């Protein structure tokens, strides 16, 4: 495998890790606020709090690894994306700061404050929407290079059907992934009331997830035909993703093997996410940056690959250890230990 392909693959693994871990976190915020709004917070708030307490601190590690690695491997991305992501990136950072404030004030201060909980729930949907613009911009058509200036066409991005379909997909995917995991988590805690409510959330958000995926496919055909055709050539990956979706939904509906159901949800997004990424190659930003033209020098590239693979082998076991010690500890999951 070429070093450039290996480098972008490692970065894509980090981004996929962030997609899964952050989705559970973001969706939990929305469900916590929805529970408060509908006076069902007494059913699910303790499950959500038990999940967030040990995990929220490490959620953004995957995100940091990805963007540091992206600029390290492909320095030209800083030049182009620096302008394009100034607005959505700034919004995302503000929202992340607000979310961090909730953890401080909500968990250690006014825990039942509705305003803090509203901010927590709202940022859970707005952050993925803001971050998803990076993938939209990478398809091309939203940046122009005029002389030595990079011009971001914000108006075109805001009126693009493809852009809004990606935003829609990012929001419903977050809610589906989160509800699927929290259903399994409530089942492990033997909390049947929470499990049933969260199960309804998972089933409710499953059809919009598939609908949003289809909308992205249709709108991508009009926006970037090359990428669309590459994805059609990788139909088997999206076919496997669809099979995993049906399998997960069936298990959740039947209340069977909920842990396996969430594994299928992860595989669903794994196949779809990597199918999307493979179809996008060799471009990182169409048509300005490819994995070959924007690549750093060979020595630096090999060093970064080794460092990031080592980081991956350190981060994943650490996350698994965290899950074992806290989330899946028999006493902790049932609220008998803090």
Q: Give the model confidence (pLDDT) of 246-288 as tens digits.
A: 999 999 999 888 889 999 999 999 999 999 999 998 888 888 8
DSSP 290: E
The reply to whether the predicted model has a pTM over 0.85 is yes
Q: Which two tokens stand for residue 143?
A: 């940046």
Q: Which two tokens stand for residue 188?
A: 């492990």
Q: Residue 325 above 90 pLDDT?
A: no
> Is residue 44 within 8 Å of 31, Cβ to Cβ?
yes
Nearest alpha carbon to residue 21 among 309, 262, 203: 262
Separation of alpha carbons 135 and 106, rounded Å: 32
User: What sign does the dihedral 279-285-287-290 (CA atoms) show?
Assistant: negative
Q: What are the start-end ranges of the E strands in 195-267?
A: none
CA-to-CA dists, residue 168 to 161, 181, 185, 214, 263, angstroms: 11, 20, 26, 11, 23
**Residue, of 335 and 245, whose pLDDT is higher:** 245
% of the chain with per-residue pLDDT over 90: 28
Q: Which two tokens stand for residue 130?
A: 């803001």
Residues comprising the chain, all counted? 338
Q: Which long-range contacts (CB under 8 A, 24 or more apart) does 205-208 make?
A: 205/172, 205/175, 205/176, 205/179, 206/176, 206/245, 206/249, 206/252, 208/172, 208/176
Task: State the pLDDT at residue 1.
Answer: 58
Q: Which two tokens stand for residue 53?
A: 């307490």
Task: State the pLDDT at residue 55.
Answer: 60
Give the distance, in angstroms, between the CA of residue 226 and the centroid of all CA atoms in the same chain.
Answer: 25
Mean pLDDT along residues 70-77: 80
Helix/strand/coil for 284: strand
CA-to-CA dists, residue 296 to 102, 105, 126, angstroms: 39, 43, 33
Separation of alpha carbons 79 and 101, rounded Å: 31
Separation of alpha carbons 268 and 20, rounded Å: 11
Mean pLDDT along residues 99-118: 64
3-state SS of 100-161 is HHHHHHHHHCCCCCHHHHHHHHHHHHHHHHHHCHHHHHCCCCCEEEECCEEEECHHHHHCCH
Q: Which two tokens stand for residue 322?
A: 């965290």
Mean pLDDT along residues 168-176: 93
> Is residue 265 within 8 Å of 300, Cβ to Cβ?
no
In angstroms, the first-to-last Cα distance of the chain is: 46
Task: State the pLDDT at residue 2.
Answer: 74
């Amino acid at each position: 495998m070429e070093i450039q392909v290996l480098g972008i693959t490692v970065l894509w693994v980090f981004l996929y890790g962030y997609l899964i871990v952050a989705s559970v976190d973001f969706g939990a915020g929305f469900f916590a606020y929805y529970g408060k709004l509908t006076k069902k917070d007494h059913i699910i708030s303790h499950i959500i709090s038990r999940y967030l307490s040990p995990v929220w601190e490490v959620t953004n590690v995957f995100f940091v690894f990805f963007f540091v690695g992206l600029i390290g491997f492909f320095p030209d991305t800083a030049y182009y994306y620096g302008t394009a992501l100034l607005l959505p990136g700034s919004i995302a950072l503000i929202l992340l700061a607000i979310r961090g404030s909730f953890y401080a004030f909500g968990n250690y201060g006014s825990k039942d404050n509705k305003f803090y909980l509203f901010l927590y729930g709202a940022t859970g949907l707005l952050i993925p929407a803001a971050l998803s613009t990076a993938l939209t911009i990478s398809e091309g058509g939203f940046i122009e290079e005029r002389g030595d200036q990079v011009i971001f066409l914000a108006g075109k991005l805001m009126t693009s059907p493809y852009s809004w379909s990606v935003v829609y997909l990012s929001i419903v995917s977050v809610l589906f992934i989160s509800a699927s995991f929290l259903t399994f988590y409530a089942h492990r805690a033997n909390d049947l009331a929470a499990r049933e409510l969260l199960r309804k959330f998972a089933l409710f958000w499953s059809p919009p997830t598939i609908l949003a995926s289809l909308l992205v496919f249709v709108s991508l055909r009009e926006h970037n035909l090359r990428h669309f055709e590459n994805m059609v050539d990788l139909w088997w990956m999206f076919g496997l993703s669809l099979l995993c979706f049906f399998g997960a939904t069936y298990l959740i509906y039947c209340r069977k093997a909920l842990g396996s159901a969430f594994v299928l949800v992860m595989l669903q997004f794994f196949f779809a996410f990597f199918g999307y990424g493979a179809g996008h190659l060799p471009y990182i930003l169409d048509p300005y940056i490819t994995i070959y033209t924007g690549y750093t020098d060979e020595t630096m590239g090999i060093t970064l690959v080794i460092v990031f693979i080592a980081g991956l082998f350190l981060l994943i076991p650490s996350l698994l250890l965290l899950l074992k010690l806290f989330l899946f500890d028999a006493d902790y999951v049932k609220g008998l230990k803090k």
